[in-house]
Structure 1
Amino acid sequence: AGDDFFGPKRWRVRTFAIAGTWLALVAYSVLLAPGKSPEERAADQALLERILSTPFDGSVNPLFCCIFNMLGIWPMIYAATLLPGSDRQSPAPAVPFVAGSFFLGAFALSPYLALREHRAVAGESGQLDWATSNILENRLTAVALLAFAAYLALFALGNGVIGGFSPNEAFAGFLPVFGSSLTAHVSSIDFMVLWMLFGPVLLEDGRRRGVFLGNFDSWSSGDKAQFAISAFVPVFGGLAWLLSRPPLPSQRS
């Protein structure tokens, strides 16, 4: 059965590495993450209520506010890079996992990344649904996401003041929250895991569009720079890719 499941489109190393990452994330969050005492849980609940109701009024650390809200941007980036290769995915459909990532981040998305088939042949995007074709492939969506991400970054860098520059104060205020709040702690790690898992998804999306083909050494300097920025700069790199990537062959007029 294993030989039937694994093959050119599903690799053991990738599947087991992502599955292991997911299991480690779940185990750490349940067993080792801070913020589980009754007092910490009460404070955590209050923090969650504030960040959902009044995130920008100064009652929540601006750096955590940035991270938490960017967890809503990451799923859009993943949706835009995964759904073009999701037609007839086996053994699990993409949409439930991608939709779940808007609420649970890598906790919901990682199983799909582990199980999905690799779709990296130029033109191998399959049938696109309306939302993918008209929203996720639309650069205006990326522009709107970039504007929101820029606002969040400026808010964090200014420690709650747009136009200010107090990253040290923002980070100093973030550390106690990270160390005592389950929501802040797990959300921050979730952000890092989504960042870590994006590179292979980016590579596959690029190859479906006719770029990043062949070995890394054969890429042009422009492709190398584009991949490095898109993969290694969190959120903004992914958004830069959505703004600059070529259209799918099926979308070209």
Structure 2
Amino acid sequence: MVRKISFSLLWLGFTIYAFFLAPPEQPGTFELIKNLSTMQWEGVNPLVIALFNLMGIWPLIYSAVVLIDGRGQKIPAWLFAIASFAVGAFALLPYLAIREPNNQFIGKKNTLLKLLDSRMTGVVLTVATAILVTYGLRDGDWGNFVQQWQTNRFINVMSLDFCLLCILFPTLLRDDMARRGWKNPQFFWLIALIPLFGPLIYLSVRPPLEEVVIESISQQPAAN
């Protein structure tokens, strides 16, 4: 119950901040989002470009855990995973508040789960992330980014959303490791304490998820 209340309050607080306390929305925000989405990046700070694209990497990272975790939940996890591509932690926090601890996977992996469970997916995401981070850090203008963070709601909230996604991943990590029979507290904390690349390393090295099929056995009525 404490966990559910904590995630609910965090979601409420983040929502209130984003809509009422964050810097005002600046003219041209919609145009900026459109240009970022269509790769029209001329004149845009590389740090903003990198951050925006990393916010597309994060939902893939979470989907590789949430869609597996959702197999044992009463709520459809895919709804929250899809919504996270648009609104990030705003969509994932309600899932974290509603979900129940789940350290088992029952059933077979469909094509999507096989893809998300593949170590190659983690490797591809890690390489893409490394390219984006290198590009942003090498070519970005930190002074301009800080100024935009202080004055632009979109940049401000997106940055905080990124930080929240870094912080929240360990809440799903322990159950995912348990589903794979992987008991390694030291590795858990290593992954939990490394922002962004910790989860990517985990996806690249975690053992494959074993399929567990429970066959239903029909009971014959007892003879009188």
The two structures share one fold, judged by TM-score above 0.5: yes
Deviation at 1:28, TM superposition (A): 0.4
Could you say which residue in structure 2 is the equivalent of 1:6? none
Tell me if 1:227 matches 2:198.
no
Question: Contact 2:72/2:102 (CA < 8 Å) preserved in 1?
Answer: no
Inter-partner Cα distance in structure 2 for 1:85 and 1:132: 14
Partner residue of 1:82?
66
Match of 1:94 in 2: 77
Is 1:54 the counterpart of 2:31? The answer is: no
Q: Distance in 2 between matches of 1:180 and 1:194?
A: 22
- Is 1:111 the counterpart of 2:100 in the alignment? no
Q: Is the 8 A contact 1:55 1:65 kept in 2?
A: no
1:22-171 → structure 2 map (5 Å cutoff): 22-36=11-25, 40=26, 42-54=27-39, 56-57=41-42, 59-90=43-74, 92-120=75-103, 124-160=104-140, 170-171=141-142
- Count matched residues: 212
Question: Aligned partner of 2:23: which letter?
Answer: P
Hey, what's the Cα distance between the residues in 2 that align with 1:249 and 1:158? 41
Unaligned stretches of 5+ in structure 2? 213-224
TM-score by length of 1: 0.78
Runs of at least 4 residues off by over 4 Å:
none
Q: Secondary structure at the match of 1:178?
A: helix
Which is worse superposed, 177-186 or 43-52? 43-52
**1:36-90 per-position Cα deviation (integer Å, ceiling 9, x unaligned):** 3xxx2x2322322222223554x22222222211111111111111222212412
Using the TM superposition, give the Cα deviation of residue 152 of structure 1 relative to its aligned residue in structure 2, in angstroms. Answer: 0.5
Q: Report if the CA contact (8 A) 1:195-1:235 is conserved.
A: yes
Deviations 1:194-244 (A, max 9, x none): 1111112111111111123xxxxxx5xxx51x2233222222111100011
- Alignment match of 2:3 (pick from 8, 14, 26): 14
Of the two structures, which has the highest relative contact order with CA contacts closer than 8 Å and spacing of 6 or more?
2
Task: Say what the alpha-carbon RMSD is for the aligned residues.
Answer: 1.8
Structure 2 Cα separation of the partners of residues 200 and 211 of structure 1: 16
- Stretches of structure 1 that go unaligned for 5 or more consecutive residues are 1-11, 161-169, 213-218
In the other structure, the counterpart of 2:174 is 203
Q: Is the 8 A contact 1:43 1:181 kept in 2?
A: no
Residue deviations 1:113-163 (CA, integer Å, cap 9, x gap): 11011112xxx1122442443210112211221111011011011125xxx
Counterparts of 1:93 and 1:134 in 2: how far apart (Å)?
18
Q: 2:160 & 2:66 partners in 1: Cα distance?
A: 22
TM-score (norm 2): 0.87
AA paired with 1:114? Answer: A
